[in-house]
């Protein structure tokens, strides 16, 4: 797929993320989230479903299959025929949404041959947009309003990632809701090897965004995390010059696998 085609798809992905963000905020600012539990005991709100519908309404006619957390998951025999697909999490950080701590996102990635090449992450409460293409690079816009589908104009007013930082300490970012013993041990090992280490807790794909923008140095993830949680952030990190590698290997995370759960990984600058 050439750059011109990917730019057009990136424009549509940005539009879809903003529309989903509007639907999420309508629910977030209401009194009742209509919380349910899915089969794996993870929470689901009406906002997840409305965001999914909003995204699908924009991208479903682009000729690329969609793998969404809230959509129908075809069996691998069908999915393995896909050379490209969208991987979507309409509301990443549902637990943070329910806690009302604002740390939730919309994640949309374009994956080609198991590799994320376009990524969009939108933070509805802050109107903050992260977007990337493997040739265009990675960017952050702090207040996106009146989107007119002019990607070149958006790039002109965006911050190119990574941002310049001057710090003496190593910053490790970890999950606000999913800290486990393996992660704690990894952090302790780093503290023994480095002079100064500080831990930051963040929800949703914001951890990957922090690595992409150089707001943190390392994001270790041990424990369950699905492809739609990482695909968009992976694309943004990679376009910013960072890495998302399976733990103790030099192998990148792959997508649209038979098992949609990711292995343990380390994301670094």
Annotated binding site: 69, 89, 91-94, 229
What is the C-alpha to C-alpha distance for residues 174 and 113, in angstroms, rounded to an integer?
A: 29
As annotated, the binding site for substrate includes: 69, 91-94, 229
Residue-by-residue DSSP string for 118-137: EEEEEEGGGTEEEEEETTTE
For the record, the structure tokens of 143 come out as: 């207040």
Residue labelled with tokens 């486990």: 180
Would you mind telling me the total number of residues written for the chain in this entry? Answer: 269
C-alpha 211/C-alpha 192 separation (Å) is 22
Q: From the annotation, which residues make up the binding site for Mg(2+)?
A: 69, 89, 91-92, 229
The residues, ordered by sequence, that sit 6+ positions from 59 with a Cβ below 8 Å of its Cβ are 12, 13, 16, 66, 86, 108
């Amino acid at each position: 797929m050439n750059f011109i085609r990917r730019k057009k798809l990136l424009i549509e992905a940005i539009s879809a993320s903003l529309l989903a963000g509007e639907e999420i905020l309508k629910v977030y600012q209401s009194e009742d989230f209509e919380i349910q539990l899915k089969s794996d005991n993870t929470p689901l709100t009406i906002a997840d479903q409305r965001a999914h519908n909003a995204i699908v309404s924009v991208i479903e006619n682009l000729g690329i299959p969609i793998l969404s957390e809230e959509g129908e998951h075809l069996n691998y025999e069908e999915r393995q025929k896909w050379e490209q697909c969208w991987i979507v999490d309409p509301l990443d950080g549902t637990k943070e949404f329910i806690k009302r701590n604002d740390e939730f996102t919309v994640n949309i990635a374009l994956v080609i041959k198991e590799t994320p090449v376009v990524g969009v992450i939108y933070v509805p409460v802050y109107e903050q947009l992260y977007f990337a293409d493997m040739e265009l690079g990675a960017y952050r816009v702090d207040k996106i309003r009146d989107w007119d589908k002019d990607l070149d104009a958006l790039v002109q007013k965006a911050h190119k990632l990574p941002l310049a930082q001057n710090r003496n300490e190593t910053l490790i970012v970890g999950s606000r809701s999913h800290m486990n013993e393996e992660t704690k041990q990894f952090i302790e090992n780093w503290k023994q090897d480095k002079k100064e280490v500080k831990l930051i807790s963040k929800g949703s794909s914001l951890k990957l965004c922090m690595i992409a923008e150089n707001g943190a140095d390392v994001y270790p993830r041990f424990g369950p995390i699905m492809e739609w949680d990482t695909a968009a952030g992976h694309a943004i990190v990679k376009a910013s010059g960072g890495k998302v590698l399976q733990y103790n290997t030099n192998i990148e995370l792959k997508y649209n696998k038979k098992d949609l759960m990711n292995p343990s990984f380390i994301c670094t600058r």
